Structure 1
């Protein structure tokens, strides 16, 4: 395990991808030993509701609390995946953290959709 690796997680808006409602997508940059990769959080916000220095929504944002919780969870999940990667190999790269995070998130979504689909199917065939 390489304890000298420096992991940095940074949330920011991508102004070039503003939608027609004036909302900007929130992205997270994962930097590990100077190598950076970016991941879309899937969330959007109006730029006047974003505090870049805090990397969070301002108090004016109607969705401030759930958005803060989502970004905090995203950050902790990225750190957890980094730690898991380091436990199985001597070092990790930012792209590995991204792939592991996206794969686990995608797998959870598929499982949730499958479970919901099975419940709907069971309800429709039960007598």
Structure 2
């Protein structure tokens, strides 16, 4: 589990000011010294933005709605961050963004998973590029690697990122 802090910053993209004098608000997520910036889809007049307090001022109906949207975005990002912390797996700023957007967080493949994927593809190619004997050797190789992992690592499977030269 990572003990890094999550930082959420809203900033204006003043170079993209439109004809009405409104500029887009961008959101920057910083986690473990990496950043992910994306558009919020919200527009504001640059003079109404207080960058230190991260809110639109003065309080009026339009600015209150904008501040509520920004607060909701921040809340959803924090919720995604907490859910990833609970999962007990390593994650990065892109995973936080994917979780915020409602997409699946990338799953890391393990050795036996890679073997299974390869063996399924090879089985479909029996008679075309491979013969049945070659496929059975791949299956046997997978079995031996699984046995090795159980004995040496005392686990059912090992993620590819956890492999070292000793393997």
Name the TM-score class by shorter chain: 0.7 to 0.9
Match of 1:70 in 2: 69
Contact residue 49 and residue 60 of structure 1 kept, 8 A:
no
Q: Who is 2:99 aligned against?
A: 100
Name 1:21's counterpart in structure 2: 20
Which one has the largest radius of gyration? 2
Give TM-score, length-normalised by structure 1: 0.74
Provide closer, same or farther for how the CA distance between residues 96 and 58 of structure 1 changes in structure 2, counting only shifts above 3 A. same
Q: TM-score, normalization: structure 2?
A: 0.57
Query: 4+ residue runs of structure 1 moved beyond 4 angstroms?
Result: none
Richer in strand (by share)? 1
Q: Does residue 1:82 correspond to 2:81, yes or no? A: yes
Deviations 1:35-82 (A, max 9, x none): 000121110001011111111101166511111111111101100001
2:4 aligned with 1:5: yes
Deviates more, 1:14-23 or 1:95-104: 95-104
The equivalent of 1:123 in structure 2 is none
The aligned length equals 103
- Aligned in 2, Cα 1:48/1:11: closer, same or farther, shift over 3 Å? same
CA distance in 2, matches of 1:15, 1:62: 23
Which residue number in structure 2 is paired with residue 39 of structure 1? Answer: 38
**Uncovered stretches (5+) of structure 2, i.e. residues with no partner:** 104-167
Q: Which has the higher contact order (CA 8 A, sep 6+)?
A: 1
Deviates most, 89-98 or 58-67:
58-67
Moved more, 42-51 or 94-103: 94-103
SS at match of 1:22: coil
How big is the alpha-carbon RMSD for the aligned residues of Structure 1 and Structure 2? 1.6
Deviates further, 20-29 or 51-60: 51-60
